[in-house]
Amino acid sequence: VRLYAGPVEPDNFAGLGVVLTADGTVAADADSLPDIPDAVAVLPDGTQTQMLVRKRDAAADIAYLQPATSTTQAAISWTPIAIAGDHAVLGQEIIALSGGAVPRIASGLVVALAPSGAASTSPQVVETDVAGSSLLSGSPLIDEQGALVGISTGNARSVNASGFISASVLSY
């Protein structure tokens, strides 16, 4: 989904989010939603819905959003993404999804697996050979079967411009 920090206008585009559950839990780059309690999600069919930031995982730099309750909006059918196995594998073929106004894809390989911080418990960063300039906040990294391998976050991009926090750390 596309996320906006305010009304759906180009200047308010915050990044991408990934639907994790059938009730609409979305994971996004927390850096793209700094200190705001809500956002607007735009689904692929153009449906817009208000989302509330439910929690933030500072170590992984992930914000978890939940649809706001509405009595006026029709029910939304959320389709959650499958999560790839526990960890990415060196040499694994991957696809990065991106694009603000125009959807974009880039394919590549997992080239390194590194911790996102000094502590051994830091979330794993999946480094790829995808050009970092083609990624957006929250860009999902998927495998060839369409399962989520990682999410582009500020913490991951600080380790490597084409880095993604491993999907194995998602807790929703």
User: Phi and psi (nearest 5°) for 27?
Assistant: -105, 140
pLDDT value of residue 133: 86
User: Are 60 and 153 in contact, with CB atoms under 8 Å apart?
Assistant: yes
User: How far is CA 170 from each of CA 31, 53, 82, rounded to the nearest angstrom?
Assistant: 16, 15, 12
- How far out from the chain centre does Cα 127 lie? 15
- To the nearest 10°, report the CA torsion of 40, 41, 42, 43: -160
At residue 75, the 3 state secondary structure works out as coil
Mean pLDDT calculated for residue range 19-27: 95
pLDDT category at 121 given cuts 50, 70, 90 is: low
User: Are 114 and 166 in contact, with CB atoms under 8 Å apart?
Assistant: no
Which residues, in sequence order, are CB contacts of 63 under 8 Å at separation 6+? 27, 28, 29, 30, 32, 33, 53, 55, 56, 57
Of 146, 169, 172, the closest CA to residue 60 belongs to: 169
**Is the per-residue pLDDT at 118 higher than 80?**
no
- Is residue 156 within a helix (H) or strand (E), and if so which, with residue range? helix 154-159
**Is the per-residue pLDDT at 101 higher than 80?**
no
Mean pLDDT calculated for residue range 98-122: 81
At residue 172, the 3 state secondary structure works out as coil
- Average confidence score pLDDT of the chain: 89
pLDDT digits (tens, 9 = 90+) for 135-167: 899 999 999 999 999 999 998 998 889 999 999
pLDDT value of residue 27: 97
pLDDT value of residue 39: 94
Question: For residues 159 and 118, which has the higher predicted lDDT (pLDDT)?
Answer: 159
User: How far is CA 57 from each of CA 61, 64, 73, 128, 157, rounded to the nearest angstrom?
Assistant: 6, 8, 29, 23, 16
pLDDT value of residue 124: 87
CA-CA distance, 172 to 170, in Å (whole number)?
A: 6
pLDDT value of residue 10: 86
pLDDT value of residue 59: 86
pLDDT value of residue 142: 96
pLDDT value of residue 72: 67
pLDDT category at 123 given cuts 50, 70, 90 is: low
